[in-house]
Amino acid sequence: MILELLEHCLTPCTWTARSMGFLTSTIQVRARYQRCRAAWQPHLDRTRAAILAAARLATGRRKALLFGAGLLHDIPLRELAASFEEVVLADIVHSLPSRLAALRFPNVRLLTLDVTGIMKEMPRLRDSPAAPLPASSPQVYLDDGRLDFSVSVNLLSQLGWVPGRFLRGGRPEADLAAFQKGLILAHLEYLRQLPGHTALITDVRWRAQPHAPGEAAREWEVLQGVRLPEPEWAWDWDIAPAPERERGVDYAARVHGYADWKGAGIAGGWEGKPAGKN
Ligand SMILES: C[S@@+](CC[C@H](N)C(=O)[O-])C[C@H]1O[C@@H](n2cnc3c(N)ncnc32)[C@H](O)[C@@H]1O
């Protein structure tokens, strides 16, 4: 507890990330990882393998960019650092252990980045519920000719969920839902626009499975109604086995992996980009 408090004080972090709860959540996720390590391991292995398989599809080996690198649990950092000239780990918060881990590789760089580009406006928007909610249109790296590979790692569902939680209460639910969905669609489109090869790994659905006989499982989707195309890979992430989140209930996330998001997105016709359109 004292260590967590210290980490909270010492971690370099923007005011926005601190006030919106990103830093607290990073510290909590690390603690959860330590408790649920064995249950998470298959998901972490699948994610690492998916990132490496996707990276092999990139035609160049100059710069790799990872969105949502966070605590690095699911990032094959050593392998990426060995195969790309430069690896950029992007996240809105970098924990102290991630900062230390990155220091071991001279070609790995941390980038503190809000991939939506609009989180800094959230505190003002919460205080002004009549102000219109902005549209996200990320531009960073769009003109980087050295970028050969980008992957979004278990981040997409958070893009809507965290600001939704922050703004909830002050605005009509429908406006908030449309805003959250817009953030997710903007990230998918951004991945499509980035130069180089792009890949996507994301949870799409959660399931709560009660242990009690006769109690039905509950399932809900976590992408604000955005429908993704058929994935290349899919697996379950036992994210909170009982009693982590609730006594007698196991929580699992369904994860989809797309080794080639530009190809999958266009062929599958994900919402926001009809099939066949470039
Ligand atoms: C579920 S974690 C991904 C797993 C992470 N790679 C790990 O090892 O734990 C989601 C990550 O997305 C980051 N994130 C959430 N919203 C973000 C945003 N708007 N911009 C950049 N990163 C964001 C969080 O800080 C967190 O590190």
- Taking alpha carbons only, the member of 115, 60, 49, 109 closest to residue 83 is 60
Task: Quote the DSSP letter at residue 235.
Answer: E
Check residue 134 and give its pLDDT: 95
- Across residues 175-185, what is the average pLDDT? 96
What was the pLDDT predicted at 276? 52
> Ligand 1 pocket, 163 CB below 6 A?
no
pTM comes to: 0.95
Task: Find all residues with CB under 8 Å of 250, minimum gap 6, and list them.
Answer: 208, 209, 211, 238, 240, 241, 242
CB of residue 231 inside a 6 A radius of ligand 1: no
Taking only the tens place, the pLDDT of each residue in 85-97 is 999 999 999 999 9
With a cut of 50, say whether residue 216 has pLDDT above it.
yes
pLDDT tens for 123-163 read 999 999 999 999 999 999 999 999 999 999 999 999 999 99
Q: Does residue 203's CB lie within 6 angstroms of at least one atom of ligand 1?
A: no
Residues 49-100: tens digit of each pLDDT: 999 999 999 999 999 999 999 999 999 999 999 999 999 999 999 999 999 9
Q: How far is the CA of 110 from the centre of ligand 1 (A)?
A: 13
Residue 140, ligand 1, Cβ within 6 A? no
Residue nearest to atom 3 of ligand 1 (CA): 154
Host H or E run for residue 153: strand 147-153
- CA-70 nearest atom, ligand 1: 27
